[in-house]
Amino acid sequence: MIEIMDFLIAHIFALPLYFKLLILALVFGAQILKPQWLKKWSPAIFVGAVMVVGLYLFELSILQYQSFLSGLLSRVLNQKQGLDWFLNYVRLHFWDQYLISLIGALLFYLAAKYMNDKKGERFFEREEVWLGMLGIFLVGYPGWFFYVALILLLPAVLSLVFLKRNERLPLYYFWVPTAVFVILIVHFVLAKQSWWGRFIF
């Protein structure tokens, strides 16, 4: 057990990528193989993902505090102003990207539910709203802006190319693969670009 914890701590910054890809792969598999199961459990999957990410960020904050406490900042952290500074530091560097993407996911829920209720669930299947929320949250800030743009553009372009006029390509199978694509592009390409740093905290 100790060896597992040591391994996880040593690779703590890589854990979100693996978790995101794992949960999205499982959800996409459920979309194809167990659609009725996904329809029932999609809200719980989203809430569970938020809770796991929250626990991860809490652990990361504790490890950061311990790291500062063992260094030159130990005297500062023992004061109220130092603790306030630390809380602002971890919020800015660890929490904010997920807090903003969570807000984005909740705004998407409100907008999608409003449109669906107004049009008799014409736009989205019930679980699709939760898939969209999951994608927005896991992609994180600022990647979820690109995610939403791709979700809107990609099906529209494919509809123009492959479908007849006035036919619409459903978004159902686009939510999860597009989220995986954006996560990988952000992690392996965009995060290494200097201009990308202007968008992150």
Write down the H helix ranges in 15-173. Answer: 15-33, 35-69, 74-77, 80-90, 96-118, 126-139, 143-162
Compute φ and ψ for 90, nearest 5 degrees. Answer: -70, -35
| Minimum mean pLDDT range among 5-14, 77-86, 185-194 | 5-14
Give exposure, 16-33, as e/b (b: 16+ Cβ within 10 Å). beeebbebbeebbebbee
Give exposure, 121-150, as e/b (b: 16+ Cβ within 10 Å). eeebbebbbbbbbbbbbbbbbbbbebbbeb
On the question of pLDDT at 5 being above 60, the answer is no
What tens digit of pLDDT does each residue of 122-176 get? 678 888 999 999 999 999 999 999 999 999 888 777 767 666 666 666 788 899 9
What tens digit of pLDDT does each residue of 73-107 get? 667 677 777 788 888 989 988 899 999 999 999 99
Q: The pTM is what?
A: 0.88
Instruction: State which of 6-15, 42-51, 57-66 shows the largest mean pLDDT.
Output: 42-51
- Residue 113 CB-half CA count within 13 A: 8
